[in-house]
Amino acid sequence: IGDEFQRTLGAFYAIYWMLRIDIDGKDGFANGVDGKWAPIVVEGKDSLRVTLPEKRMAFKQNAKWGFFQDLLVEAGLIELKKARTGMFKTAEKFVVNEKRVTSLLALTAFHDIMKMSLMLPTVQAEHAPFHGYEAGTTIGDHDHALSYVLERYPQLLPSFRALDARQRQAVIFSQCSLGFNHGWFVQA
């Protein structure tokens, strides 16, 4: 569970830093955080705050940050909107789509809970067969187990249940139909 926990935290940080690329997200991606959970800023190759400061500085300088932003736009997590900047001035800026981000954060929080064998559900007769599992059978695949709970017992996951119907459907699609892999997301 320790490794899964670390990967889940990594996914949360990846989301957080991507949404803050224009603030401190680049430093977070490149250097991690300090003891107070603030992104570390590396200003020179002699920095003792991180290992391999030259590589970290090169990553921060050379990463294709626009691609990260494009990914957020295409996923519907941020949207370009007009905002008032003065009495008679407006400008376009990126705004977080709170519903989509909330859905992503909820999925990130519970996506691996079925890796704990005590959580695995048993297919009920009225739901059989489910992804090849017959009634009375414990669903051994953690992704199928989560799909079963999301589809048949959504009330068991309050963070999922609290989403609106459209966002619940998006989560079910990404988890159950698409097979979105959070580990791959973090590694990318």
Per-residue pLDDT of 49-88, as tens digits, reads: 778 888 999 999 999 999 999 999 999 999 999 888 888 8
* Per-residue pLDDT at 182: 56
Quick one: pLDDT at residue 1? 55
Rounded to the nearest 10°, the torsion over CA 87, 88, 91, 95 is 50
What's the rounded Cα separation, in Å, for the pair 120 and 145? 6
pLDDT value at residue 16: 94
Domain boundaries defined on the chain: 1-96, 98-188
pLDDT-derived band at 176, boundaries 50, 70, 90: confident
Evaluate whether 79 touches 94 at the Cβ level (below 8 Å). Answer: yes
Give the pLDDT score at 175: 83
Between residues 156 and 51, which one has the greater pLDDT? 156
In contact, 31 and 40? CB cutoff 8 Å = yes
pLDDT of residue 155: 96
Mean pLDDT to the nearest integer, 118-123: 97
pTM of the entire predicted model: 0.82
For the chain, the maximum distance between any two Cα atoms, rounded to a whole number of angstroms, is 66
Average pLDDT on 132-139 reads: 97
- 15 vs 175, more confident: 15
Confidence of residue 181 (pLDDT cuts 50, 70, 90): low
Give, to the nearest 10 degrees, the angle between helix 142-152 and helix 165-172: 160
CA distance 71 to 65: 10
| Average pLDDT score, the chain | 90
Distance CA 90, CA 76 (A): 22
For tokens 């998006």, the residue is: 170
* Whole-number Å distance between alpha carbons of 61 and 137: 53
Q: Are 12 and 184 in contact (CB under 8 A)?
A: no
pLDDT at 184: 61
